[in-house]
Amino acid sequence: MRKKDTQQRSEPAAQTPGTNEALPRASRASAADGAPIRVATVEDDAVCLQALAHAVETAPGLSMVWMAANRREALSLLPRQPLDVLLVDLGLPDGSGLDVITAARQTWPDCAVMVSTIFGDETHVLRAIEAGAMGYVLKDLSAQELVAEIRSLHAGGSPINPMVARKLLLRHTVQAAPVEAVAAPASVPLVSPSAREAETLRLVSRGYTVDEVASALGVSPHTVQTFVRRIYTKLQVNSRAEAVREGARHGWLSED
């Protein structure tokens, strides 16, 4: 028995294709917990990369499938196996992370992509959303906080940095006024939100996660996700950023 244990521990760690870094072990979630959330990341900062890898490795129910340090490597690894969540930095040494986002959405449509970057300006945010990103956070988060956002994204949320959300909100609120004056009447009447749905959207616009909204409203995360789906349906949108923009345009974020 001891000999067998020794042999098992001496097995070499799997290597990430195209790198010399050892691939982090799969999470320690038991079979009873179901399949782990399959995570990959594209990050050229070695310190950030290793911190996130360690956080994912030690988090129950998560598994780091692969890590890439540049655009070329990410595009090479992307088709090899399905992913649940992909984290992408936009400023890569050999090109833009937007190319990786677009490729990920085409290769694995069910994969949720989240940007983790230093760029918080409107241009980068809007281009990332247009490419298919479902979340957008800045690099002021710790690795543990980023893991929490990964869980939120996989659960159906759309994590977005509060400062970024506010910029989008202000930008589209200002632009909405002249557009509304000349816009043709909508072909489908807009269904007003319930009080809980409106409060959910207000909290989402401030950057709250699904769990934080649930705590603030005194309901379960599942109920919050139901509210979010109803909001998306009523506004005819597909992302948190679109919901905040359209909600602001229709006056849903007002607290009166």
Residue type, 114: M
Across 223-251, average pLDDT = 82
Contact 193, 252 (CB under 8 A): yes
H/E run at residue 95: strand 95-96
**SS3 category, 85:** strand
CB 13 within 8 A of CB 25: yes
Query: Is the pLDDT confidence value at 224 over 60?
Result: yes
Going by C-alpha positions, the residue among 126, 101, 93 that lies closest to residue 41 is 101
Q: How far is CA 35 from CA 41, 106, 155, 156, 234, in A?
A: 19, 23, 14, 17, 33
Between residues 2 and 102, the one the model is more confident about: 102
Token pair for 247: 């909600």
C-alpha to C-alpha distance for 29 and 13, rounded to whole angstroms = 19
* The pLDDT value given to residue 35: 86
| pLDDT for 180 beyond 50 | no
User: CA-CA distance, 249 to 179, in Å (whole number)?
Assistant: 10
pTM above 0.85, yes or no: no
CB 75 within 8 A of CB 104: no
Question: Which of 17-26, 43-52, 178-187 tops mean pLDDT?
Answer: 43-52
Helix (H), strand (E) at residue 136: strand 135-138
Strand-pair partners of 63: 38
Q: How many CA atoms lie within 13 A of 8 on its CB side?
A: 5
Average pLDDT over residues 116-140: 87
Give the C-alpha separation, 207 to 161, whole Å.
6
The answer, yes or no, to whether residue 156 has pLDDT greater than 70, is yes
